């Protein structure tokens, strides 16, 4: 009955050192394994999916921020010059009107100087279309006043336009904004589309994780059952699954975002290496520079973290709900017909 | 400690497997639950584990009416019950040691605090050499003892054992029975579901006999 007395000693919590001494050899146990088996094919597939999603999310994010930066730089660029165009009209004293428009424009703060394009200059401008040796006074050609402006402190274009309209009805003020505005609004649309893509990517990811979690739950149903029988609370089971998915999603999203970061870095490198070659200039004109900068890499890192968190939270939430369902079905004899008798 | 009153249970639309169960499992009591295969022994144990709701009737566990207890509180009550399954239900990817330690892990205990207890208990059930082995390589009897150790590790107030001697030879069966008796002497109520008459004859204990959905109790 030696064993039983030892058990009794254990039961009452008395240190059983005297009986134990000869047996005190330390047993080696491996570091405690996670309750959910670490890897299986399903987990690997999920990891790849998360990596792809993270990659796409980072690419979209990078593209969006590049377009935004380009648009912002366009938007802030004020042309250094504006032009006032005077349309010829019957009985109009062109030279006087040009002079007047110039003076009116120069009354505004922020304008620097005004040049009236003289006949020669205008003729040169028109040469490609009309040929040489033409007499401008015979043609109804509009004339231009070029106003240089202070970029740091631009004049109020709207007020200038209003004043010109009332004083010199033949004048037309062109601040070259129209095409820039159009480009900028196009860029904004692109940004919106990018955000839409981002939302889609995230939604798809959440759905994938929900399916994966449910799959993992039914694949590990026997574990859930045993945990239930030994008195595990719902939150304990959820935490176990959450750990499992945190590992998978951290690995996946780290791989995906690292790939994206690498891509941006390579593009950047290529661009700076081939600076001033026609290909690179074209690319720059199209996409802006590929630099996403420190902030961009920080954004990629943030995306990775967000994805990992999102995955983990989704897993937890799904497990909580599914465990409730399982619990409910298990405890209800009317619904447990299909379940294995236990 | 456990009180059943007019409890009935049917699976799905099937016949009533348990009918009008009215009985008590007193504190520190020792009883066998027996009956032919398919009589509903396992089902009755699951009712006592609070993992199955009765179709009708009242169950009191530890003095509380189960129908009044929110589901989130059941795990706490379940922790006071130890169960050994007919099919062991060991997790194949965990070692014997980790399987036995599982209930403590679930309770949020620290590994350092229980390691020696677990190893000691494993030695005691004769698995001292099998601590780091995965269940698939254990023999039936070894699995059985691992399952028993898992049920005992947190010193439950009541032990429910479903065919705990089904896979061991008579000497080992007697040894396990002695273990259960000793546990009982230390204050744990024990319910052993079995159809091993030889085992029951070794002890003069209360017998609960299930036949055709009814329960007869022989003190
Ligand atoms: N989940 C379930 N769904 C439907 N029927 C079930 C379920 N579990 C058990 N049964 C049925 O209930 C009856 C009693 O089963 P139970 O497992 O409780 O018997 P038992 O007395 O433990 O038998 P054994 O001695 O063979 O282990 C059987 O007819 C079985 O088919
Ligand atoms: Mg059974």
- Which of A11-20, A256-265, B9-18, B70-79 has the lowest average pLDDT? A11-20
Q: Average the pLDDT over B125-132 and give the result.
A: 90
Query: In the predicted model, is pLDDT for residue B197 greater than 70?
Result: yes
- Which of A68-82, A111-125, A149-163, B33-47 has the lowest average pLDDT? A68-82
DSSP bridge pairs for A86 = A143, A171
Closest residue of chain A to B87, computed from CA coordinates: A342
At A270-312, the pLDDT tens digits run 877 766 666 666 666 655 566 667 778 888 889 889 888 988 8
Picking from A4, A32, A223, the nearest residue to B111 by CB comes out as: A32
Instruction: Identify the burial level of A334 via C-beta atoms within 10 angstroms of its C-beta, where 0-12 means exposed, 13-18 middle and 19 or more buried.
Output: middle
DSSP bridge pairs for A146 = A83, A115
Ranges of each domain in chain A: 38-75+181-328, 88-169
Cα separation, B35 vs A194, whole angstroms? 69
Q: Does a structural domain hold residue B106? A: yes
Q: Does a structural domain hold residue B116? A: yes
The minimum-distance atom of ligand 1 relative to the CA of B46 is 18
Q: Which long-range contacts (CB under 8 A, 24 or more apart) does B164-172 make?
A: B164/B84, B164/B192, B164/B194, B165/B194, B165/B196, B165/B199, B166/B86, B166/B194, B166/B196, B167/B140, B167/B141, B167/B143, B168/B140, B168/B141, B168/B144, B169/B141, B170/B198, B172/B141
Q: Is the CB of A341 under 6 A from ligand 1?
A: yes
Q: Counting ligands in written order, which one lies closest to the CA of residue B195?
A: 1
Q: Which of A297, A55, A75, A71 is nearest to A190 (CA)?
A: A71
- Residue B41 and residue B211 in contact, taking contact as beta carbons nearer than 8 Å: no
ipTM entry:
0.91
At B40-58, the pLDDT tens digits run 999 999 999 998 999 999 9
Residue A75: per-residue pLDDT: 67
How many domains does chain B divide into?
Answer: 1
- Mean pLDDT of all residues in chain A? 79
The minimum-distance atom of ligand 1 relative to the CA of A338 is 3
Q: Is the CB of B213 under 6 A from ligand 1?
A: no
pTM across the whole model: 0.73
At A131-141, the pLDDT tens digits run 777 676 677 77
- The protein residue with its alpha carbon nearest to ligand 1, atom 31, reads B38
The domain containing residue B126 runs over which residues?
92-155
Query: In the predicted model, is pLDDT for residue B144 greater than 80?
Result: yes
């Amino acid at each position: 009955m030696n064993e039983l007395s030892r058990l009794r000693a254990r039961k009452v919590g008395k240190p059983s050192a005297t009986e134990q001494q000869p047996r005190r050899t330390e047993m080696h146990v491996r570091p405690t394994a996670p309750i959910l088996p670490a890897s299986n094919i399903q987990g690997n597939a999920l990891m790849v999916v998360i990596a792809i999603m993270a990659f796409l999310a980072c690419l979209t994010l990078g593209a969006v921020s590049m377009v935004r930066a380009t648009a912002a730089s366009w938007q802030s660029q004020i042309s250094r010059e504006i032009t006032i165009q005077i349309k010829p009209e019957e009985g109009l004293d062109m030279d006087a009107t040009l002079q007047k428009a110039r003076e009116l424009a120069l009354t505004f703060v922020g304008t620097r100087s005004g040049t009236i394009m003289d006949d020669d200059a205008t003729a040169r401008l028109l040469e490609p279309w009309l040929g040489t040796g033409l007499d401008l006074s015979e043609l109804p050609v509009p004339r231009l006043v070029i106003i240089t402006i202070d970029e740091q402190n631009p004049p109020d274009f709207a007020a200038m336009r209003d004043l010109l309209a009332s004083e010199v009805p033949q004048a037309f003020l062109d601040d070259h904004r129209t095409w820039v505005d159009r480009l900028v609004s196009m860029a904004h649309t692109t940004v919106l589309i990018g955000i839409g893509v981002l939302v889609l990517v995230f939604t798809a990811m959440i759905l994938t994780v929900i399916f994966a979690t449910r799959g993992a739950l039914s694949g590990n149903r026997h574990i859930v059952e045993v945990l239930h029988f030994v008195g595990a609370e719902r939150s304990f089971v959820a935490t176990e699954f959450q750990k499992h998915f945190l590992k998978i999603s951290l690995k996946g999203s780290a791989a995906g975002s690292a790939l994206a970061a690498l891509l941006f870095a390579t593009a950047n490198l290529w661009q700076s290496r081939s600076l001033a070659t026609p290909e690179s200039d074209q690319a720059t004109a199209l996409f802006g520079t590929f630099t996403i900068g420190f902030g961009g890499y920080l954004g990629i890192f943030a995306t990775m973290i967000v994805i990992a968190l999102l995955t983990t939270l989704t897993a937890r939430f799904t497990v909580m709900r599914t465990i409730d369902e399982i619990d409910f079905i298990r405890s209800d004899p009317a619904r447990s017909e299909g379940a294995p008798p236990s | 400690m456990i009180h059943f009153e007019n409890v009935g249970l049917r699976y799905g639309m099937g016949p009533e497997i348990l009918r009008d169960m009215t009985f008590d499992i007193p504190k520190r009591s020792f009883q066998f639950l027996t009956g032919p295969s398919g009589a509903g022994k396992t089902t009755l144990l699951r009712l006592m584990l609070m993992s199955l709701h009765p179709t009708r009737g009242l169950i009191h566990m530890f003095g509380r009416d189960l129908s009044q207890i929110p589901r989130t509180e059941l795990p706490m009550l379940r922790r006071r019950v130890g169960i050994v399954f007919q099919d062991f239900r060991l997790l194949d990817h965990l070692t014997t040691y980790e399987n036995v330690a599982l209930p403590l892990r679930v309770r949020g205990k620290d590994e350092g605090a229980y390691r020696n207890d677990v190893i000691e208990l494993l030695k005691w059930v004769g698995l001292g050499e099998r601590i780091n082995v995965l269940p698939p390589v254990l023999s039936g009897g070894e699995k059985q003892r691992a399952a028993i150790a898992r049920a005992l590790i947190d010193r439950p107030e009541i032990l429910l054992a479903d065919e705990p001697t089904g896979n061991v030879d008579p000497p080992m069966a007697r040894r396990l029975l002695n273990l259960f008796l000793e546990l009982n002497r230390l204050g744990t109520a024990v319910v052993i579901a079995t159809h091993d008459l030889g085992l029951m004859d070794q002890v003069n204990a209360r017998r609960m006999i299930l036949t055709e959905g009814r329960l007869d109790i022989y003190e």
